[in-house]
Amino acid sequence: MKTIKGNLIDLAFEGHFDIIIQGCNCQCRMKSGIAKEIARRIPKAEEIDNETVRGDRSKLGGYSSSITEWEDGFGDSFVTINGYTQFYWGTDSRKVDYEAVRSVFRNVRNDYLSGYGASLKVAYPKIGCGLAGGDWE
């Protein structure tokens, strides 16, 4: 793992990553934090999230995904993963589910990375450590 400072979404659009992963709640609400910016700048990610069942606890540890392709038809694309790492949103208590975070990363590794190894560049913010009240350490 390598720590990079900068705007994750800007860097993805600049072609630095093949996959970006964000932590989402299971309520189909992308209204704050990085999710809000992803919903605004990568609308397919929010559309895919809204196609899942709102309030479905079984989504925890799973994900939905969308592909962003360059508008000009040239260059690369990247995948946005909506990892379901918390059931609900709010800042009144810790909302992140650490086992769900582990499960999202295991699932992404198995589904995307097993055939490519280290050749794919995956980026993610400190999932669950902002508004969801988790501890990155």
Res 71: pLDDT: 62
User: Does residue 58 contact residue 71 with C-beta atoms inside 8 Å?
Assistant: no
User: Does residue 34 contact residue 5 with C-beta atoms inside 8 Å?
Assistant: no
d(CA 53, CA 96): 19
Higher-scoring residue by pLDDT: 10, 113: 10
The residue among 117, 122, 132, 136 whose CA lies nearest residue 60 is: 132
Higher-scoring residue by pLDDT: 99, 69: 99
Residues linked to residue 82 through DSSP beta bridges, in sequence order: 22, 64
Q: What is the pTM of this model?
A: 0.88
List, for residues 17-46, the tens digit of each pLDDT value: 999 999 999 999 999 889 999 999 999 999
Helices assigned H by DSSP within 29-136: 33-41, 43-50, 98-108
Is 134 a residue whose pLDDT tops 80?
Answer: no
Res 126: pLDDT: 84
